[in-house]
């Protein structure tokens, strides 16, 4: 399994929190057979170790606006790699940047307000990135399965 260092109780707690991050310590305790204080101590320890990174609310912008979600595959010359990462990291429309297998390849996700903003983003940011060897763009049509983080 993924989490060799965790016992069954920690795994059960994490599973409950991934289903409902707002679940109370009392309710988690009832589900795993621990007191509220013991659950809090375990969750605090998981947070301190960095196993649990954050609790968040995920907004699907396509449900409330005409937002466009797009992915980019970018291959960059080695000499421009850090510059490209810095440019993309500083743009609020860019939500994720991953280094992927292959030489100097990046997988980038961006969300723009609408078609006009996407066109502006492409023309003013993406097409002007230094040292681009190859570039492709895919627009997300619909979300079929979207899991955040590791699931047990």
pLDDT digits (tens, 9 = 90+) for 33-90: 999 999 999 999 999 998 898 887 777 666 767 788 899 999 999 999 999 999 999 9
With H, G, I as helix, E, B as strand and everything else as coil, classify residue 14: helix
Q: What is the pTM of this model?
A: 0.66
Length of the chain in residues, anyone? 152
CATH code at position 94? 3.30.70.920
Domain residues for 43?
8-48
With H, G, I as helix, E, B as strand and everything else as coil, classify residue 115: helix
Closest C-alpha to 10, from 66, 49, 63, 54: 49
Q: Kindly state whether residues 76 and 34 are assigned to the same domain.
A: no
Count of domains observed in the chain: 2
């Amino acid at each position: 399994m993924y989490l060799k260092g965790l016992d069954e109780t920690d795994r059960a707690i994490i599973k409950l929190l991934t289903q409902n991050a707002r679940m109370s310590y009392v309710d988690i305790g009832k589900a795993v057979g621990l007191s509220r204080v013991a659950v809090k101590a375990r969750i605090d320890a998981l947070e301190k170790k960095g196993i649990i990174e954050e609790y968040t609310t995920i907004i699907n912008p396509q449900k409330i606006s005409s937002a466009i979600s797009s992915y980019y595959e970018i291959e960059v010359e080695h000499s421009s790699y850090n510059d490209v990462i810095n440019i993309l990291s500083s743009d609020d429309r860019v939500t994720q940047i991953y280094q992927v297998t292959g030489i100097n390849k990046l997988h980038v996700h961006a969300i723009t307000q609408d078609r006009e903003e996407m066109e502006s983003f492409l023309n003013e940011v993406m097409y002007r990135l230094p040292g681009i060897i190859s570039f492709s763009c895919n627009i997300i049509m619909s979300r079929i399965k979207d899991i955040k983080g590791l699931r047990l």
